[in-house]
C-alpha cells in the first residue's frame, strides 16, 4: 500500500488583529479558519476549531498588542488546541512579538521576559515562529526551533522613494538602530546619522536626546525605528534634528503601538509624517493627518507561502532580514 501525503495549509487568527489575518488569508487564497474564541465570565478564554486540522500545516496569527497578556494567552490556547487535534506542523505568526524589549537583564533581579514567552510557545507545541522586526536579533536564539524574522524595510523603502526629494539622511534614534539605518541608507543613497539618547533614572518613558552624530543640516531626515510606543524616543530625536537644521523630518516604524501620550507627542513634534505598518491594529480615533499606515500582509503572506512550500524566506528579503 502506498500512502501519498498531501500538504494542507490552514490559517487561523486570534482577536487582536483580525483584519490583518483576513488580508493574509486572502493573499494566500485560503479561507480564514474559525477558532470560536470566547471569553467566559471568569475571565478565562475558550477555543475550539470549527473544522479538522488533522495533518494540516497550521498558521496561527496573533499580534501581541493591548491587552498583551490576553493576546499571548489566546494564541497559546489556539496552539494547544491545534496540537491536541493532531496538526502536522504549527507555526505561531506574531507580527508584533510580546515583551521583546525585555530581552536582557538591565538591572539586578530583572526577568528576561522575551525568553519566557519563547519558552511558553515551545511548551505549548509551536514548531516555528514568524515575527516582524524583532526589537533585537538575539530573541531568535531564545526559541530552540526555527524562527523566521521578517522585516518591513521593503515596504518603507518603496514608500520613501516617493516621499524624499534632494539630499537625505537616515537617522537612527538610538545606537541600537544604526545597523538598520545603514541598510535604509544604502537603498535610498542617503547619509547616515544617529542620536545618542539617555533615559532619566527612576522615570518611565522619559527620554533625553543628548548628542547627534552625523550631518543633517539642510537635509530631509528619516528616523527609522522598530516601534512607537509612547513616542518619547522619536519626538526627542526629531526635536534635536530640527535644532540641528534638518529641512524636513519623517519617521518610519514597523509597529504603531501608540500608547498614551504618543498621539499628543507626535502631533506636537517637528515630524512632518509618521509612517507605520498594520502589524498593530490602529483604532480610527488614533488616526491623525500625520499618521500613515502601510500594509504588511503581502510580506507575511509571501513568507507563509515559502514556509509551507519549504522554500527560502531569506530570499524574499535578499538576506536583509537578519537582525
Gap between the Cα atoms of 78 and 67, Å rounded: 17
Which positions are annotated as active-site residues?
Answer: 197
Gap between the Cα atoms of 193 and 177, Å rounded: 10
Gap between the Cα atoms of 260 and 267, Å rounded: 12
Place of cell 543633517: 216
Q: Residue-wise over 72-84: b if at least 16 C-beta within 10 A, else e?
A: bebbbbbbbbbbe
Q: How far is CA 164 from the centre of its chain?
A: 24
Amino acid at each position: 500500500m502506498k500512502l501519498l501525503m498531501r500538504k494542507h495549509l490552514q490559517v487561523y487568527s486570534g482577536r487582536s488583529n483580525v483584519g490583518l489575518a483576513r488580508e493574509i488569508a486572502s493573499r494566500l487564497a485560503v479561507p480564514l479558519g474559525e477558532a470560536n474564541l470566547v471569553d467566559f465570565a471568569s475571565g478565562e478564554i475558550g477555543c475550539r476549531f470549527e473544522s479538522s486540522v488533522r495533518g494540516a500545516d497550521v498558521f496561527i496569527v496573533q499580534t501581541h498588542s493591548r491587552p498583551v497578556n490576553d493576546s499571548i494567552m489566546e494564541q497559546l490556547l489556539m496552539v494547544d488546541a491545534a496540537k491536541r487535534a493532531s496538526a502536522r506542523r504549527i507555526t505561531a505568526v506574531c507580527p508584533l512579538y510580546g515583551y521583546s524589549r525585555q530581552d536582557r537583564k538591565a538591572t539586578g533581579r530583572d526577568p528576561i521576559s522575551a525568553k519566557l514567552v519563547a519558552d511558553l510557545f515551545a511548551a505549548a507545541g509551536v514548531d516555528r515562529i514568524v515575527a516582524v522586526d524583532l526589537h533585537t536579533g538575539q530573541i531568535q536564539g531564545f526559541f530552540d526551533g526555527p524562527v523566521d524574522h521578517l522585516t518591513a524595510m521593503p515596504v518603507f523603502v518603496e514608500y520613501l522613494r516617493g516621499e524624499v526629494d534632494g539630499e537625505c539622511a537616515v537617522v537612527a534614534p538610538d545606537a541600537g538602530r544604526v545597523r538598520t539605518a545603514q541598510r535604509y541608507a544604502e537603498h535610498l543613497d542617503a547619509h547616515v546619522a544617529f542620536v545618542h539618547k539617555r533615559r532619566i533614572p527612576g522615570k518611565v518613558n522619559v527620554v533625553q536626546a543628548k548628542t547627534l552624530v552625523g550631518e543633517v543640516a539642510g537635509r530631509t531626515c528619516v528616523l527609522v525605528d522598530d516601534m512607537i510606543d509612547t513616542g518619547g524616543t522619536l519626538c526627542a530625536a526629531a526635536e534635536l534634528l530640527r535644532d540641528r537644521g534638518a529641512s524636513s523630518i519623517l519617521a518610519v516604524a514597523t509597529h504603531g503601538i501608540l500608547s498614551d501620550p504618543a498621539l499628543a507627542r507626535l502631533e506636537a513634534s517637528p515630524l512632518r509624517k509618521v509612517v507605520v505598518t498594520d502589524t498593530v491594529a490602529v483604532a480610527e480615533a488614533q488616526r491623525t493627518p500625520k499618521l500613515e499606515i502601510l500594509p504588511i500582509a503581502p510580506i507575511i503572506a509571501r513568507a507563509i507561502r515559502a514556509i509551507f512550500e519549504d522554500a527560502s524566506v531569506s530570499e524574499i528579503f535578499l538576506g536583509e532580514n537578519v537582525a
